[in-house]
Chains A and B, each alone.
Chain A
Amino acid sequence: DTEVTQTPKHLVMGMTNKKSLKCEQHMGHRAMYWYKQKAKKPPELMFVYSYEKLSINESVPSRFSPECPNSSLLNLHLHALQPEDSALYLCASSQYNTGHLLTEQYFGPGTRLTVT
């Protein structure tokens, strides 16, 4: 199974709402990632978890709160978002080699988020 699943597929939320994005993989990968992708742009790294610990936070605003409850699950909690946060949010996973995260990343299909 080389699949990364993400739910929901689409999400529309108001600026005062609280919502969560979910990501799951069963490949035994110990590194998981959140990316944000605006239309016609490359993905931008937001967070990296390795062995369920946050290892990289790319100075993401606190209205985005990641969580890694176990090695297969990754959540992104959303609160008080702005319209400019509307984007495709991609989750990815990879194996983790000591000292670096080099192996190919497997991406999920993404959650299309619209903030109204």
Chain B
Amino acid sequence: AQSVTQLGSHVSVSEGALVLLRCNYSSSVPPYLFWYVQYPNQGLQLLLKYTTGATLVKGINGFEAEFKKSETSFHLTKPSAHMSDAAEYFCARYGNNRLAFGKGNQVVVIP
């Protein structure tokens, strides 16, 4: 089955430090990939997406992700973590008329 893998359910990062969340996909065809964020007691909000074209994708709140076909990866980064970045982050790929989500990363920001 075509899917995405997110490693490490909990990610702790110091305020001001780099945020790096890893996402790898399995697919024999070019995938459509998304990163969503979910704040406590809220729905999911789209951070960014990759469909075609530029492999470095910029999203909201200072996040960006780079599509690397050779590594089958779509890692999410933010240069400097803020306390407001504490949330659950989901990588997802589109296929078979639906989104398939990774297991998610719970990001904790340490002051």
Contacts and interface: CB of A to CB of B under 8 A. Distances in A.
A27 B43 CA distance: 17
A100 B36 CA distance: 20
Interface in A89-116: 90, 92, 100-102, 104-110, 112
Nearest to B51: A102
Contact of A109 (B42, B49, B98): B42
Given A90-B43, A104-B34, A41 B97 contact: no
Interface residues of A, number: 23
Nearest to A106: B46
Interface string B35-55: 010000111111001010000
Contacts of A32: none
B46 A90 contact: no
Interface residues of B, number: 22
B42 A48 contact: no
Interface stretch (B13-21, B73-81, B101-109): B101-109
A14 interface: no
Given A40-B106, A102-B94, A108 B43 contact: yes
Given A105-B46, A110-B42, A112-B41, 18 more contacts: A4-B43, A40-B104, A40-B106, A42-B102, A42-B104, A43-B44, A43-B101, A48-B97, A56-B97, A90-B43, A92-B43, A101-B94, A102-B32, A102-B94, A104-B46, A106-B46, A107-B44, A108-B43
Q: Which 5 A-B pairs have the closest CB atoms?
A: A42-B101, A107-B43, A107-B44, A109-B43, A104-B46
